[in-house]
Amino acid sequence: MRILAVGDVVGRPGRSALRTFLPGLREEFGISIAVVNCENAAGGLGITRSTAQELLDAGADVLTTGNHIWKHAADAKAFIPTCTNVLVPANLSQNDNPGPRLFRSGGVAVFQLQGRLFMNPLVRDPFEVADAMLREIQEKVILVDFHAEATSEKGALAHFLDRRVSGVFGTHTHVQTSDERVLPGGTGFISDLGMTGSWDGIIGVEVKEVERTFLTGFGGKTKPARGRGVLEGAVFEIGDDTGLCSSVTRIRRFA
């Protein structure tokens, strides 16, 4: 089977790019499951019920999130706990972060972890939590979204899970890496899928807002940039019977 993983959707431009390209990609590659990171989908940060539904209507099967999941906390915490296909990172505290940690469909399992290096060092150990998650999962095809800053941490988790999961893909940095590969044990890996949003901004954000952050020392607004839309991600080809990955193909489509 083929699994499509799509990098962080950033605001309205990202949602538009997903609507434009996802149906065609599903047909072109014969996609069984489309995993889409949505943590920046609502105005550049966070997720709301309406933006989540928009991504699902565009063809996503499961939405992963990340460290900005609760930017619109009242809205998000009202709907995410009732969803089966909007995932909360599994190593976040259950008390403060309600919602599903595992997605299952048609013999495929998906879960997400958040990194600690250069992020929140107080979240639970993603390596320990990955072990715990795998003890619960019976499916052969298992995908892991690792929402992390450091490529070293992403690579370490991928090697730690090699042969035990079908694929590990990084999100969060919004910059697609060219290190896609199949690890020795048969796990597909890419350090970062990239992003789905405006190519003409800086990681999908208006250039002037990012410049202001560095020029003044005060954070600019995370206002999604305008301009050319892009969708970035990767396709993992996985054996249904073995759960092992045979290829990882990077995807980039411009509107």
The pLDDT profile of the chain, 255 residues, written as one tens digit per residue, is 999 999 999 999 999 999 999 999 999 999 999 999 999 999 999 999 999 999 999 999 999 999 999 999 999 999 999 999 999 999 999 989 999 999 999 999 999 999 999 999 999 999 999 999 999 999 999 999 999 999 999 999 999 999 999 999 999 999 999 999 999 999 999 999 999 999 999 999 999 999 999 999 887 778 999 999 999 999 999 999 999 999 999 999 998
| Contact predicate 52/36, CB 8 Å | no
2-200+226-254 to CATH, choices 3.40.710.10, 3.60.21.10, 3.40.640.10, 1.10.287.1120: 3.60.21.10
**Which token pair is 102?**
């595992």
| Contact predicate 38/52, CB 8 Å | yes
Q: Which residues are catalytically annotated?
A: 68
Percent helix, strand, coil in the chain (nearest 5)?
25, 30, 45
| Contact predicate 146/173, CB 8 Å | no
- Give SS3 for 167: strand
Phi and psi dihedrals of 116, rounded to 5?
-115, -35
Q: Residue 85: count other Cβ atoms within 10 Å of its Cβ.
A: 17
Q: Residue 184: count other Cβ atoms within 10 Å of its Cβ.
A: 9
**Which token pair is 57?**
């209507």
- Cα four-point dihedral sign 127, 128, 129, 131: positive
**Which token pair is 79?**
């709907």
Distance set, CA 164 to CA 135, 144, 154 (Å):
11, 11, 16
Q: Residue 26: count other Cβ atoms within 10 Å of its Cβ.
A: 17
